[in-house]
Structures are given as structure tokens and as C-alpha cells.
Amino acid sequence: MLPDIAIETKNLTRRFGDFTAVDNVSLIIPAKTIYGFLGPNGSGKSTCMRLITGLLLPTSGSIRVLGMNIPEQTESLRLRIGYMTQKFSLYDDLSVIENLRFIAQIYNLDFHLGKQRINEQLHAYELDQRSTRLAGSLSGGQRQRLALACATLHKPELLVLDEPTSAVDPENRRDFWEKLFDLCDQGTTILVSTHYMDEAERCHGLAILEGGKKRADGSPNQLMKDLGAQVVEIGGDNLRQLKQQLIADTNVVSAAQQGTHLRVLIDNRIEHPQQWLQQTFAELMQNRSINIVRPSLEDVFVHCTGEGRQ
């Protein structure tokens, strides 16, 4: 077992009929880091996670998780991972503490240890005031905290979170991520999927998925550095019209309006984008501000997922 690699997949593929949900994905996820899957809906994030946790069988390719072969050793893996589903999957008609007790017993925590862990979790996830409330009556943020408390009750080495914050407001999202960094600091490997750029930017490592394929992977900084395009912000009037004309050019990867300016990605083939723009679109560029800016993760995302979108 390689201690520094938590998850490794090679040419992982999963088909549903003639639809390929995960297409030839190879990943190396280092232990004790937060690794993100970034991608639009239907990009294969959930399927990938279900393959890694042994909930789905791969059509081809190999998976190793915590040194175990999946799906063969799925049952022994179950004790060592925590999994949080996209939809809240605890019991609405049980109270906070009853849900925690149920999970403690399912994972065979002995009575005293279980009790101690439940109290620790209630405290850590700020649920001690609400321990007798039914899970169904909790707010979105509280539910997510309860789900995370349950998923980490047995101190798993690997935590798999499928879009954990999709139903949570920004403030609760920030708190939630603080908890994830605490867990990571304690030595837990975390695999998380998201379609929020700000969340993706918090990950140590990242894989951008689209249409079941891995489009790019690396650390967010590396991905931004390696972006095969430069980012230009163009100000002025009639931005909608400008956008239509710019994206017709093959050197323009994408153009997106952000309030009073247009954010344009120009392929690295063009060495000086400002000059190129003024020469190629001389008339259009009159009385406009043109500035080169630092790429963001969204630019990376747009750049590598542009193709093949319907």
C-alpha cells in the first residue's frame, strides 16, 4: 500500500446502456488532502464517486482506494470511509441524536465510545442545542452539519462528499469548509464534488470533469497558470453585440459579460491580445478599455469545458 496515495483510478469507464457516464478517467488523489471534482451537472462527478465507493461496478478500468481493490474489497472499505450523499439521506423522522446513535450502532461503535463520539460530534458541529429536534425540521445548513457529523462519526480515513453544499447558503458553506479543513488537518482525505468555483479554488487538488471525461487536473494555481489562453477585460457599450462578433473568431475561446465589461479568453497563439484585438476589430474597439487580467478558475473551467457542450 502506498501511504501517500489515497485513491488511484486507471482508465476508469462506466457505461449505462450506450451512454458513457465516466469515460477513461485516470486519477491520482494524494492522502490527507482535499481533492475536488469540478464539473457541470451530468459531467460524471457522482458516478465517479459511486465507482470509487463501490456503489457502482466499473465497466472497465481499475480502482484502488486506501490500498484496496474496488469493487472486490468494497465491504472492508466501508468501515474506513464516510460518504455523504447529494440528497439528505438520514432519517427525517428521527431526532438528531437518534440518527447519530443509529449510525454509531451500524458502525459497531461500543456503547461508551459511541456515546463519547456522539457528544464530541454534537459539540463540534454545533448541534448540542438541537439534539432532540427531528432531522426533518432542521434548516439546510443544520442538516448538512448533521450529515457530516454522521459521516465522520466513525473517524473514517476517507470522506467522500457528493455536492455537499448545493442546498446551503454562502455563510453556512464557509463554515462547512472550515470543518473540512479541520478534518483534513486531522489526517482525513476528502474527496468533494462541486459546481461552485469558489469551493473548487479551496481544494488542494482538482479534476475538471465534463461529459464523463477528465478535462484537466492539478492544483488550482497550477491550472490557472497552465491556462492555454489569456484573459482580457473589455469595457464600453453594446457589449452583447460585441460578444456576438468576437466569439465568431476562432482565436477567441470564450466571451462572457460581467456587468459593465466583457471577459474574453484569447488563445495563447496570439502573443499580444491587446494589439491583436485593436488590429483585428479596429472599429469595434474604439473608445473601449482593454485590460489583461489574472485568470480565475472559472476561466480555466470555461477554457477546458468549452468543446463538446450542447
Partner 1 sequence: MFLTTRSTLNSLQRMQAIMVKELRQLSRDKPTFAMIVMIPLIQLLLFGFAINTNVRDLSVALVDQSHSEIARALVADLTATQVVHFVKTYQTPDQASKAITRGEVRAALVIPRDIAQRIGDERPLAQWLIDGSDTMVGSALLGLRNMPLTTLNSRGFATNFSTTKPTFEMSLFYNPQRVAAINIVPGLVGVILTMTMVMFTSAALVRERERGNLELLITTPVKPMELMIGKIMPYVFVGFIQLAIILGLGNIIFDVPINGRIDHLFFAVLVFISASLTLGMLISTVAQTQLQAMQLTVFILIPSILLSGFMFPYEGMPAAAQWIAESLPATHFIRMIRGIVLRGATLMDLWPDLLWLAGFTVIGLIVAAKRFKKRLD
Q: What's the one-letter identity of residue 165?
A: T
Site for partner 1 (CB under 8 A): how many residues? 23
Alpha-carbon distance 263 to 41, whole Å? 23
**Ranges within 215-244 binding partner 1 (CB under 8 A):** none
CB of 160 or CB of 242, closer to partner 1 = 160
CB of 114 or CB of 205, closer to partner 1 = 114
Give the residue, chosen from 22, 48, 103, 297, that forms a contact with partner 1 under the rule CB under 8 A.
103
Q: Which residues contact 195 (CB under 8 A, 6 or more apart)?
A: 38, 39, 40, 41, 163, 166
CB of 92 or CB of 307, closer to partner 1 = 92
C-alpha distances in Å from residue 191, one per residue of 45, 81, 121, 227: 11, 11, 20, 24
* CB contact at 8 A, 145 and 176: yes
Alpha-carbon distance 199 to 36, whole Å? 8
CB of 97 or CB of 265, closer to partner 1 = 97
Binding of partner 1 by 281 (CB under 8 A): no
Alpha-carbon distance 34 to 86, whole Å? 18
* Residue range at the interface with partner 1 (CB under 8 A); choices 99-107, 113-121, 224-232, 269-277: 99-107
Q: What would the x/- binding string for partner 1 be over residues 68 to 97, using CB under 8 A?
A: ------xx--xx-x-x-x-xxxxxx-----
Q: Which residues contact 25 (CB under 8 A, 6 or more apart)?
A: 9, 11, 12, 13, 44, 48, 61, 207, 209, 212, 213, 214
Between β-strands 229-235 and 261-267, what pairing exists: parallel, antiparallel or unpaired?
Answer: antiparallel
* Residue range at the interface with partner 1 (CB under 8 A); choices 106-114, 221-229, 232-240, 246-254: 106-114
Nearest distance, CB of residue 140 and partner 1, angstroms: 15
CB of 108 or CB of 258, closer to partner 1 = 108
Nearest distance, CB of residue 274 and partner 1, angstroms: 51
Nearest distance, CB of residue 301 and partner 1, angstroms: 28
Binding of partner 1 by 114 (CB under 8 A): no
Residue the block writes with cell 488537518: 185
* Residue range at the interface with partner 1 (CB under 8 A); choices 23-31, 105-113, 212-220, 293-301: 105-113
**Ranges within 21-60 binding partner 1 (CB under 8 A):** 50, 53-57
Residues that bind partner 1 (CB under 8 A): 50, 53-57, 74-75, 78-79, 81, 83, 85, 87-92, 103, 106-108
